Amino acid sequence: MSDVTDAAFRRIVVKYSGKFTCPKPGGGRPDVMWTEFVPCDGLCSKGRKAFMLDLSYTEKERPIVVQLFGATPEHFYRSAIMMQKLGFDGIDINMGCPEKKVLKQGAGAALIKNPKLAQEIIRETKRGAGKLPVSVKTRIGDTKNEIKKWLPYLLESEPSAVTIHARTRKGMSDVPADWDVVAEAVRIARKYDSSSDRTLIIGNGDVKSLSETRERAKETGVDGVMIGRGIFGNPWLFSPLNKNSPERGRGIPSTQERLHVAIEHAKLFEKLFHKKKNFDVMKKHLKAYISGFDGARELRTACMNAKSGKDVELAIKNSGILYY
């Protein structure tokens, strides 16, 4: 997600998602992490260095998949070769972004209306990716549900996985996710290919807890569930002791813990991206951390004026809500 799943965000998730005891080996953290999406056109230009910051990651974030967007097959091929050299664990092609500036390029969700180009992009990405798995993230259609028509084009190109964001391009994130269509996508994919190495179907949209991921997987038969906005302000989400999960128990993150991590996140963002990214990017995260407790509204307002991690820390300290 652009300006969301950056290095600071991912490092905080890695650190805190496994903070509480997890009964399953390797549990307590997401199975796979994605980068922000990066433009292939930019990576193939003289200004490619400007995008390398978005491609930085640590070994603790593995397995990590890089997400690319664009509309030029040749640029996907060249970018995929670069991603091999950078050591990513997979490449994901964004065919679902509804932002106007992306659509104007013929990229993102615009590719739903251009399935032949979409197929060529997948083929060229696979050609450049070598042994790296190549996946696609898309939506159920442009202005209406077109999954029966759209998904077979993707399956024909044999990506490793297709993540279905359960809304149309027109629906943005303003309407409820339609998981019935995700279930339909699963049926289409299984009918197309029932072998063990078939394209995996991953569902996405409005999932806010581990218990919901289990429910959605059981209801639809998806091979996996992707969580986006549900983890904002809650890097503990993948811990089985999260307050929204069935294993609810001791160790639930308190308001104090959330505020301490909000400060830590803000300072880490500033450390990694000082003079490289606008600090306003942090505000969507701060809004999520600072909610659901007395005085949250006033504190959020104060933090919206912050220009640095230190400003966030002072605002939280001055609120009188946080104690050390």
Q: Which residues contact 101 (CB under 8 A, 6 or more apart)?
A: none
Supply the residues annotated as catalytic.
97
251 φ/ψ sector (left φ>0, alpha ψ -120 to 50, else beta): left
Q: In terms of Cα–Cα distance, which of 84, 228, 92, 99 is closest to 169?
A: 99
For residue 175, what are the CA distances in angstroms to 166, 168, 171, 180, 317? 10, 9, 6, 14, 37
For residue 68, what are the CA distances in angstroms to 38, 65, 76, 302? 5, 10, 8, 35
Give all strands (DSSP E) within the chain, no chain letters.
33-39, 64-69, 90-95, 134-141, 161-168, 200-204, 224-226
Side-chain half-sphere CA neighbours of 197 within 13 A: 2
- 8 A C-beta contact, residue 227 and residue 165: no
Q: How far apart are CA 142 and CA 157, in angstroms?
A: 20
Q: How many beta carbons lie within 10 A of that of residue 124, not counting itself?
A: 21
For residue 251, what are the CA distances in angstroms to 26, 59, 127? 19, 27, 47
- 8 A C-beta contact, residue 64 and residue 35: yes
